[in-house]
Structure 1
C-alpha cells in the first residue's frame, strides 16, 4: 500500500506542473475606456519598498521580517482591490489591477503559511500548490490565482510577457518587480521584466550547443508560438550572442524566493 500511495503522490506532483490552458471568463472582458480614474496601489508599493530585495541575479522577499502591521496593510490593500469592480475601469487600469492582485495574493499566501520551503507545499495533501484555491471574491465571483492568470490575464491580453510579471514566490520564477504596476508604467515593466528574465541563468543557460530554458517556455509554449517564434522572442531581448534552439532542455527551481 505504501508503494502505491507513493506512486500516487508522484503522479499528482507530475500532473500538477501541467499548465492550465487559457480559458476566457467572458464576465471580465467588460471595460470603460472613458473612465480616466486610477486605482491606488500605494499600499502594495509600500510592501515592495519595505521587503523586496533586488539583487543583480535574483529578486528576493524578506518574508520573515514582515511586521504584523504591514501584514494588516497588505490585507487592507487586497480587501480594497476586491471591493473594486475592475470592469468599470479602462483595460490598461485593469491590467495593472490584476497583476498587482495576483502578486499581492501570492505574497499573502506565503506569509499566512510561513515558514515553508516552497509554495508547492500549499494546497492540500493531493495538490501541487495553491493555485486552484478560491482566495478572493470580486462582484460575487470567487477567484483563484489560476482564474486570474489563465481565465483573465492570458486570454484577454494575449501577451506572452504576462508570464514575466506574475510571480509564484519561487527562485525559478521571473522576479517580482520592485515597482507596482499602473496603467502608465505597465508596458515599461513588461519589457523590463522580459529582458531581465531572458538574460538571467534561470531564463536561459547556454552550454555549447545545449540550451537549458526555463520550464515556463515548455508549460506555456502555446503562448510563445513555434520554436522559431520562441527563438525570435528570446533573441529580441537577449544580450550578447543570439541563442539557437537546437538541443533544448527545461528546468525550474520551486524553492522559496526568500531573502535570508
Structure 2
C-alpha cells in the first residue's frame, strides 16, 4: 500500500522511538558480534614446548591461607589474606595476564588459566570482604547478572589485549577448548558447594594427576555425591553442566563411578537414578 506524504510522516513519528531503540541496540551489539570467541585466545599452542609459568607466588599464598577442615572441605582464611597477601596476589594476576599463551603447550595453558580463574576469584572476594556469599558481590556485566548477583559476567581480566570475564575463562575457553569434565574440579567459585580450592597451584607437569585427585576428592565427598536409603543426591554441578558428563543421568552415573571409591562405589551399584541435587553457596570462609 502506498502512503501519502502526511501518512508517511505520521508513521515515521509514531515509530521513531522504536526505530531509534532498534538502531541503538544494533550499534551496541555490533562490537560483540564482531568480537572473536574467547576460545580464540588458545588458537595457538607450542606443543612440546619446555616453557613453564612460575606459579610459586600463588602456591605460597594457597599454602599459607587455605586450610583443609576435618570435614574435607578447604576454606580460605580471608581476613589475614586481605591484610597481608592481597598485594602479592594482585601482582601475580598481573604477571599471568602478561604471559604469552601461544608460547606454552596445552597443559601449561590449562594450568595458567585455572590458576588465573581461582586467583581472580579470591581477589574479587578480598576486594569486597567480608561477605556471606560470592553471590552478594554484584559486578554486573549483563542485565541478568546485575539482577542475580555474582562476578562471573563482568570483564575483569585482560589477556593479549582482550578483556575476559570469569565465565569466558571457564566456559568459553577451558570447557570449549579442552572438553574435559575435570575442568569443573579445577575452577573454584569460593563456595562451600564447589569442588575444593586446591591448597597448591596447578602446574603443567602435574596437571592430570592434580585434576584426577581433585575429581576423586569431590566425587567421594557428600557434597559431590551421597546415597541415603537408596536415594542418590548429587551436586547441582552435574545438573547445570550435564552435557560435560555424558549428557544424561546415565552419563553422570558413569562419571561418578569412574572416580568413586568404597563405600560410595558400592552404594552407587545399587542406585538406578539421581533423586536430587544440592549446592551450598555460602562463602568458603574459615570464619564461617
TM-score above 0.5: yes
Q: Is contact 1:235-1:242 (8 Å) kept? A: no
3-state SS of 1:126 partner: helix
Q: Is contact 1:92-1:183 (8 Å) kept? A: yes
TM-score with structure 2 setting the length: 0.79
Quickly say closer, same or farther: Cα 1:245–1:214, change in 2 above 3 A: farther
Q: Distance in 1 between matches of 2:47 and 2:238?
A: 33
Q: Distance in 1 between matches of 2:276 and 2:259?
A: 20
Aligned residue in 2 for 1:20: none
> How far apart are residue 227 of structure 1 and its match?
2.1
Q: How does 1:45-124 map to 2 (within 5 A)?
A: 45-56=59-70, 57-66=72-81, 68-123=83-138, 124=140
Q: How many residues align?
A: 238
Aligned residue in 1 for 2:279: 252
Aligned residue in 2 for 1:227: 249
Higher RCO by CA contacts (8 Å cutoff, separation 6 or greater): 1
> How far apart are residue 66 of structure 1 and its match?
1.4
Runs of at least 4 residues off by over 4 Å: none
Aligned residue in 1 for 2:208: 187
What CA deviation, in whole Å up to 9, does each residue of 1:89-130 have, x standing for no partner? Answer: 111110100000000001001100000000011125513311
Aligned residue in 2 for 1:134: 155
Q: Is contact 2:82-2:126 (8 Å) kept? A: no
Give unpaired runs (5+ residues) of structure 2. Answer: 1-36, 141-145
Q: Is contact 2:133-2:191 (8 Å) kept? A: yes
**RMSD over equivalenced CA pairs, Å:** 1.5
- Give the structure with higher Rg (CA): 2
TM-score with structure 1 setting the length: 0.88
What CA deviation, in whole Å up to 9, does each residue of 1:158-212 have, x standing for no partner? Answer: 0001101100000000001111001111111111001000111100111112111
Aligned residue in 2 for 1:3: none
What CA deviation, in whole Å up to 9, does each residue of 1:73-95 have, x standing for no partner? Answer: 00010000001121221111101
Q: Is contact 1:227-1:245 (8 Å) kept? A: no
Q: Distance in 1 between matches of 2:272 and 2:66?
A: 33
Q: Distance in 2 between matches of 1:115 and 1:47?
A: 19
- Is the deviation greater in 151-160 or in 34-43? 34-43
Quickly say closer, same or farther: Cα 1:247–1:78, change in 2 above 3 A: closer
